[in-house]
């Protein structure tokens, strides 16, 4: 039964049309510089640095990543590593 369950069952008042987006697989080795949220715009901005991605894709080493999901109604951290 547990294998058949998908999603997070303990969120309260989760909107019916909500879609979960997991970032751990692609960003587990990234350093979070800052997280900003804007309730009125329904956005979350993640400022990240990832030496591994920069080296792998031969990008400038001073490049940083900004992820800005829009239409955000809820955000939650499930995995956290120091």
pTM of the model: 0.63
Range name among 6-15, 28-37, 63-72 with the lowest pLDDT average:
6-15
52-81 per-position pLDDT tens digit: 889 988 999 888 899 998 888 777 776 666
Instruction: Bin 5: left if φ > 0, else alpha if -120 < ψ < 50, else beta.
Output: beta
């Amino acid at each position: 039964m547990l294998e058949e369950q998908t999603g997070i069952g303990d969120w309260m008042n989760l909107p019916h049309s909500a879609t979960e987006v997991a970032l751990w697989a692609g960003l587990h080795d990234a350093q979070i510089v800052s997280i900003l949220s804007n309730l009125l715009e329904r956005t979350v901005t993640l400022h990240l640095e990832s030496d591994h991605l920069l080296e792998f894709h031969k990008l400038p080493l001073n490049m940083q990543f900004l992820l800005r999901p829009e239409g955000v109604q809820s955000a939650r951290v499930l995995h956290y590593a120091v």
